[in-house]
Amino acid sequence: MDPKPRQRAPLLLPVWLPPDDETAPFPPADSALEHPNGLLAIGGSLSPERLERAYCGGIFPWFSEGQEILWWSPDPRGVLFPTEFRMARSLRKRIRNAGFEVVFDRAFEDVMRACAEPRAGQPGTWITADMIRAYTALHERGLAHSVEVYRDGRLVGGLYGVAIGGAFFGESMFSRESDASKVALAWLAGQLHRWGYALIDCQLPSEHLARLGARSIPRAAFLDLLQVALERAGKPGPWRFDPDYTPLTGPLEPSPPASI
């Protein structure tokens, strides 16, 4: 018999987490507010321990400079399954011919700072100095990772996120040259598939990520998939691409997606 769907009533107000109490628990992710979509808690800290608990519960921080820490679990959730990454012909050509060097974990903080740079149409950034310090601490523990894309020795694109068990939680990506962030994601998705990772959490659905194969799924389905993924061993510590790996060895288009 299929399990009953989650039917927890949403909170009326976000829960306050005392900043000096690391033991204060998060409320269940599926009790997040409907408006604004996914807001769950306010406060707490960005300690490695709290961040790890948050991601294991399907929760992530997202706030602007000067705000209290805001914790979210939106419904629906954007998810990219590594086998479903959509490798367009134009992207395959860029990977083959543009002279990119793609590596893991060479310049984590540089990638975060590049992701924090101003972008057209965005008044500011949520990647604050506190966030950079917090995720750098996770990186030093082997839980946060970056993909760097270089051309002629210059960092032109990349992404970073958190890896726990068989789940990778994508945080942000950037491009200083056309398609550089897509190249980073292509390399990441194929390598995660090789390593047995189940999913890449994209947090909020977007048209850009949908064109690359990401899907919008109900939060309840995401939380169920996450718990299964967290049971996998994962790959802690500094990451390196397999010596014989290239994303060009995979299929041009993914197989039809499995139902959720």
Residues 246, 152: Cα–Cα separation, whole Å: 19
Q: Name residue 122's beta-bridge partners.
A: none
Do you find a cis peptide bond into 218, omega within 30 degrees of 0?
no
User: Which three-class secondary structure state does DSSP give residue 168?
Assistant: strand
Spell out the domains of the chain, with CATH numbers in brackets. 15-75 (3.30.70.3550), 78-249 (3.40.630.70)
- For 206-230, the pLDDT digits (tens) are 999 999 999 999 999 999 999 999 9
Give pTM, 2 decimals.
0.92
Residue 238 has pLDDT above 60, yes or no: yes
Model confidence at 2, in pLDDT bands (50, 70, 90)?
very low
Interval 126-144 mean pLDDT: 96
Residue 190, both tokens: 């194929």
Mention every residue, 6+ apart, whose C-beta is less than 8 A from residue 4. Answer: none
pLDDT at residue 161, as a whole number: 98
User: Which three-class secondary structure state does DSSP give residue 223?
Assistant: helix
Q: Hey, what long-range contacts does 19-24 have (CB within 8 A, 24 or more apart)?
A: 19/43, 19/44, 19/45, 22/47, 22/49, 22/50
Interval 184-188 mean pLDDT: 98
Interval 139-165 mean pLDDT: 98
Give 76's DSSP letter: S
Angle between helices 89-97 and 180-195 (to 10 degrees): 90
Closest to 17 measured CA to CA, from 43, 52, 39 = 43
- For residues 122 and 35, the model is more confident at 35
Residue 258 has pLDDT above 70, yes or no: no
CB atoms inside a 10 Å sphere around CB 21: 11
Model confidence at 6, in pLDDT bands (50, 70, 90)?
low
